[in-house]
Amino acid sequence: MRRTLDIAPLRSLVAVADCGGFQRAATSLHLSQAAVSQHVRRLEAATGRLLVERQGRGSRLTADGEKLLAQARRILALHDETLEDFGFAGDATLVIGSTEHAAAQVLPPLRAALEDGPAGHQIRFRIDRGSKLRERLDGGGVDLALLLGPADDPRARAVGDLELTWYAAPGWHRPAASLPIPLVAFDHPCALRTRALETLSRHGLPAVIGAEAIQLAGVQAAVGAGLGVALMATLHHTPVGLVARDDLPSPGALPLAVWSRTGLAESVTRRAADALRDLLAEGA
C-alpha cells in the first residue's frame, strides 16, 4: 500500500513542535485540538512510528518525530514557495500584532504591502501591550508582531528607529526647576515610559508620574487635560489638541523590530520588514 504524507498533518506536526504542545498548535492553525491530534495520528500511521509522546502535562517529539520534523520543514517550505510562485498565499490569514505607538501611520502601508504582494494575504490586526503580543507570538496566536526595543531575539528583525516627541496641552507650563515634571505614561512595563524617565533623570530633572493609562487614548486625554507631558512615537503626526515641546531633553529614538512566529515563511517577514523600512525612511 502506498503511504502519503499530506501537507495539513505535516503543518500540524511543525506547529506542535514550534508552539510547545497540541493546544497552542491548534490556536496557531485555527483548528481544534482534536483535529491537530488526528493529524499527528495520521502521520504516525503513515510512518509506522511514534512521533509525539506525553511528558508531564505537555508533550515532546520522539527521535523519529524530530527526524520527520526536519523533513516536514523542507517539504512545507517548498510547498509554500511553489504556491507563492503561482500567486497563492501559504497562510490564508496573517495576524499582525502591534502596540498603539504610531499604529495609525504604520499599519495601513504594512497592510497594503502584504495584501498586494505575490502571496496576497488576508490581514487581521491585534492591538495590544508588547508583553501580551510576545505571549501570543509564543502561543501561535500572532504571526508577526511590531515591537519597540532591540532585535535581540532570533525571531526579531530590526527595521529602523521610531523618533520620539514630547507632547503637552497648548496651555501647559513647565514647572519651576525645583519642582518635578509631571509625566503622563502608559502602565508599566512600557518602553516609552522607561525612556521618558531615563531621559529626564540623565539631565538631572526630577519627574513624577502624574497620570497613567492602559491605552493611547487615555494617555492623550490626560495630556490634553493638562495633567502632564508625555513621550510618544507618532512619526511626526501631532495628535489633535496637543502640541510638541522642544524645551525638554531630546529622548532620541527607539528601535522598531518585526518579530515573527517560528515557522512563518521567511518571505512574509522580509516583505513586512522592507515595507516598514521604507516607511521609516520616508519620515526621516
**Continuous segment of H or E residues that includes residue 84:** helix 63-85
Per-residue pLDDT of the chain (284 residues; tens, 9 = 90+): 678 899 989 988 988 887 778 887 777 677 788 888 999 999 999 999 999 987 766 788 999 999 999 898 888 878 877 877 776 655 557 788 898 887 878 888 888 777 665 455 677 888 888 888 888 887 777 888 999 888 888 888 998 888 999 999 999 999 988 899 999 999 888 889 999 999 999 999 999 999 999 888 899 999 999 999 999 988 888 998 999 999 999 999 999 999 988 777 788 888 888 888 888 887 55
pLDDT of 107 reads 84
C-alpha to C-alpha distance for 180 and 206, rounded to whole angstroms = 5
Count other C-beta atoms under 10 Å from residue 176's C-beta: 6
Distance of CA 26 to the CA centre of its chain: 20
Q: Which CATH class is domain 165-251?
A: alpha beta
pLDDT of 120 reads 55
Within 8 A by CB and 6+ apart from 53, the residues are 59, 60, 62
Q: What's this model's pTM, rounded to 2 decimal places? A: 0.65
DSSP 180: P
Same-fold call for 7-85 versus 165-251 = no
C-alpha to C-alpha distance for 190 and 163, rounded to whole angstroms = 16
pLDDT of 92 reads 56
- In the numeric block, the cell 493638562 is attached to 226
For the chain, what are the domain ranges?
7-85, 93-160+255-283, 165-251
C-alpha to C-alpha distance for 156 and 146, rounded to whole angstroms = 9
The three-state DSSP-derived secondary structure of 134-155 is HHHHHHCCCCEEEEECCCCCCC
* CATH architecture under which domain 93-160+255-283 falls: 3-Layer(aba) Sandwich (3.40)
Distance of CA 264 to the CA centre of its chain: 13
CATH numeric code, 7-85:
1.10.10.10
Give the max Cα distance, the chain. 85
- Helices 22-29, 130-139: inter-axial angle, 10-degree rounding: 100
